[in-house]
Every structure is written in C-alpha cells, then in structure tokens.
Amino acid sequence: MKIALVQINPIIGDFSYNCKKIVSWANRAREKGCELAVFSELALCGYPPQDLLERSTFLVDHDKALQKLINGISGIGIICGHLEKHTDDTGKPLHNSASLIENGKIIFTAQKRLLPTYDVFDEARYFQPGRRSQSCLYKGLNVGITVCEDIWNDKGAFPQKLYATDPISDLVSDLQGADGKIDLLINISASPFHIDKENIKQEIFTRVCQNNDVPLIYVNQVGGQDSLLFDGCSMAMNSSGSIIARAERFKEDMVVLDTDTWQGELHGQQIQEVFDAGLTSGEPDGFLYETAAVFDALVMGVRDYAQKCGFSNGVLGLSGGIDSAVTCGIACEALGEENVLGVAMPSPYTSDQSVEDAKLLAANLGCPFEIITISSVFAAFKESLENVFAAYEENASPKIDVTEQNIQARIRGNLLMALSNKAGSLLLSTGNKSEIAVGYCTLYGDMSGGLAVISDVPKLLVYRLARYINRNKEIIPKSIIERPPSAELAPNQLDQDDLPPYDILDAILKAYLEQNLSVGEIAAMGFDRQVVQDVVRRIRINEYKRKQAPLGLKVSSKAFGYGRRYPTAQNYRDEGV
C-alpha cells in the first residue's frame, strides 16, 4: 500500500478553508496511487483552538465541516484529526480524536489518551482522555493510530515518565486491538518547533521503533499559529528506527511511503546539505543547521501571523543596530521587501553612523526607508515637563536619566504606531530575549508592536542570524555586526555599561529560564554569584513589562508568554544552595 504523509498549514476556525485543503491534498495523493493519506492533529479546526472550544457555535460548525469532509473523500482513505463529543455524563465535553475515513463514513476512531498540561499546552482544560488504545485492520495492515502526546511518554527522554498510561505499549502488546501483531504505528501531531526539538523527536521515535520492532509514520502540522511555530518535518521510520520518508520543514508538503518495500520519498535534502556546510564553514558543528532552522521558523511565523490576521505590510524602526537589522531581514523574507517600511528616528544622541547603517541596510534589502527626526519632539516633551521635573532634579547631573531615555523610546513607539495605523501595517517590535528578560527595554516604547519577532532569540543567536543572512553576500552592513551594541539614548551609552557581557548573560538566562536552575546552581557552574543574583532580580522585577509585551514567536524550549506562568506580584528569592 502507498501511504501519503500530508502536512498542511490550517487556519484555526476556518473550516471551509481547512476542509477544502484536506480534500485537495487527498485527491493529489490518490492521483499518485496512494490508498491512504494521513493528516495532522485537529487538522479540521486547526491547533490549538483554545477557548473557541467553549463556544457551542464553533462545535456546530466543526461538525458540519466534518460531515462535509466525510462526504468529500472518495477513492482513498484518510486519517485526520478532529473534535469528537464525549458522551458520558461526567468529564470534559470533547475528545481530541483521529478518524479513518473512507467511502463516505468513519470506519475507525482513536481518541487521544495523554493530554499535556505543561509549557504551552493546556489540553486537560478542554478534552477528556480516551480510555482505550485499539488497532484496526486496513488494507491488510494492522494499524495502531495515536495522537501526538500518546507517543511521548518515553522514560528515556525525561527524568521520569509523565503518565501512568502508555498507549504505545497497549497497542504493541495488542491488549485490546485487532487480531495479530501491530504492523504499523501512525502518530498524528501538532508538535511545536523549538531549538533541538528535531533531535529529541528522532531519539524518541527511534526508541519506539526499535523497542517495539514496529515501523512508524509521524505526520505533523506546519505553519505559524500566534506564538507557536510548527515545523512539519513529518517522517516515516522503519522498525530499526531509520528514516525512510521525510517531508520538508516549515512548508506544506506530501511524501509517499510504499509499505510493500518500506521505501519512501526523502524531501528536504537541503537540510542535510546545510548541516554539511556548517561543518566546514568555520562555525561550530551544526551552526548553520540550527541557525537556518531558527531563521526559517521566524520567517514562517511572521508570514503566517500577518496573513492569518489580515496584514500584507509591515513597519519597524531601524536603529542601525543588530536587532532591528535582523528583524528587518526576516520581515523582508517573509512579507517581500517592497512591503516592509524601515524607519530611522534619530535623537540628539544618535550617531551619524547609525543612520547611515540603517539607510545602507534598507538599500541592501530593497525595502522602503524613511528618516523621522525626534529631536524637536523630545525637546517639546522636556519643555512641557520642565517645571514638574525641577523638583526631582536637584541631585541629578546631567539631566538625562532613565526617564529622558524612556521618553525618546516612547516617542519612537508613538511614531511607529501612527505609521502602522495610517498604512494598516503590522508593527514589528525588535527586542531580543536577553534584553527583554532583564527589562532592558521600554514599555510603550521599543516594546510597542503587534508582533515581537525575535523576543525569544538570545543576543548571541541574533548575531548568528545576522551572519546567516549574510551567508551569500553582505546584506547587514559589517559595521552593524561589529559595533558594540548601544541604545543611544544618552551620551556615550553602551549596553555593556548596564548588562553583563552577552555571552555570560545568555548562559545565565538559559540556565535559569529553560533549565530552572537556582542562583546557587548557576553560580556553581562558574558564574559570579552577585552577577547571577542581579540577573535573576531583574527577571523578577520586570515581569510586569513582559505581561504587556506584544505576542512573540517561540523558538526556545521556554519562551516568555503563555507557556511561562509566573506571578507579577511576588517576592520569592530563588537562591538555592
């Protein structure tokens, strides 16, 4: 049997669009001689639908679309993720299910049993877990169908198993399945991307195949959905855990697997080529591979967020610094350079070099560019506040403290929002994760925007992205990359006057935010304890800023946003030993 692995980019709640897309790809699979096409988790409604699931009209429209999908499939079977009503008197009202559809009817349904509630997931809020793992016979194969998390309860990947239930063991031992050994495991997923996630998945899937002596098909959603970025990377593995079919990453795609020969199509060969190039580029092993993945993810995230929210143009401030340069490069790739307006807004403390660098960057990218000087507006602000501020300035010298610095940032934020409103453009904010973590950013200033493109990208990775953008020719001017970073909001200002060196800051942030290590544990890694304490203090006291920040694209294992839930008003000191 030929099986198509089909990864699509659904739009949450656009049932007509999603249904047509599924039918269209199923027809393409049938034309290629496939008897079965496998789609991703909740492909019909899009993932994650969140509190839309609490709206009765949403569920009614979903069921209408499901019936339309069932009626629209002909000449091929499909496995597709959808919502299913939970009919018992107790429990949550819905199941997250996968059904095998053929000849105008559902012939088998599997319900998701393991409902994640960590990081960005909150499925127990909406869904009732399935009770049983069952297999079904289809075209002579005994197939076990699972949904996303059902395959992740792997004790080799985590310090301890997260669930008592193990759907894979149930299926492979065939406790309640059809007669005979499982011939094929199928897992449909909506598994978000983060750095190194691909390696984790392959390790888990390899163990599943080898430990159970069974081949695996994994089909993942692709596309950007708010903060979440889905990479696709659907694949098939043989019982030895070797990849025998693979789809593109960050693109809609279909690959075909032949179960008679257990051979399939391997798309995305450039992934391996990029990795190989990284080994000889003078960069650390895997540099280009990882950096290319982050770049592609962010480009997809900007493009999908803009399109799905109805924007065709973007605008951002170009400071002449590395963060705005990288953000602009990503935006131009995502939206088209002609659709991205870069705006330099020099203040009295902005160097001529910064303006020239911003102008050259825009020329290299081919995007429109404007200069709006803020000196007169800044002077008007200071004049308006002069009498009131006089009472606070008897001990201040010179009269440029954080207040005046923030005024400049907020003037720029107001100007950019005005341009966004007038042109109907999406304002892209340019702050990186390192600075946002410690509050080195201005609320209602440089934090203004509709989408924070690199808010989950540490500063050192920003530099790597800049070098990646310049991999074929110089697009980001060399001077932007080499100049010490500065907010240029006060005379002779440098980031490193207020922050630890970024190699130290990024390492501390990763240990504290992603690995959940205490101050004592991080200091034991060789970092100065006072520096660690200060960084952690800044993270804590700036929680209120991040709660008001624009939505950001997630590329790390722990991003700021709804996957990280910390109280703003709290006074816990995480000192450790």
List, in sequence order, every beta strand (DSSP E) within 163-225: 184-189, 216-220, 222-225
Alpha-carbon gap, residue 217 to 299, rounded angstroms: 27
Element spanning 69, H or E: helix 56-72
Which residue out of 80, 148, 209, 233 is catalytically annotated?
148
Strand ranges in 462-569 using DSSP code E only, listed in sequence order: none
**Six token digits for residue 305:** 């967020």
- Phi and psi torsions of 505, nearest 5°: -60, -45
Q: Which of 41, 102, 265, 290 is catalytic?
A: 41
Residue of 576, 527, 550 lying closest to 455 (CA atoms): 550
- Known catalytic residue: 112? yes
543 is catalytic: no
How many whole angstroms from its chain centre is CA 512? 20
Pick the catalytic residue from 21, 112, 433, 554: 112
- Residue 551's CB is within 10 A of a number of other CB atoms, namely 16
Q: How far apart are CA 391 and CA 373, in angstroms?
A: 29
| Active-site annotation holds for 197 | no
Taken as a whole, the chain contains a residue count of: 577
Residue with token string 């009269």 = 399
- Do residues 27 and 19 lie in contact, with contact meaning Cβ atoms separated by under 8 Å? no
Encoding tokens for residue 161?
């198993």
Return d(Cα 437, Cα 529) in angstroms, integer.
18
Residue type, 326: V
DSSP labels, 385-440: HHHHHGGG-TT-SSS-SHHHHHHHHHHHHHHHHHHHHHHTPEEEE---HHHHHTT-
Residues marked active site are found at: 41, 112, 148
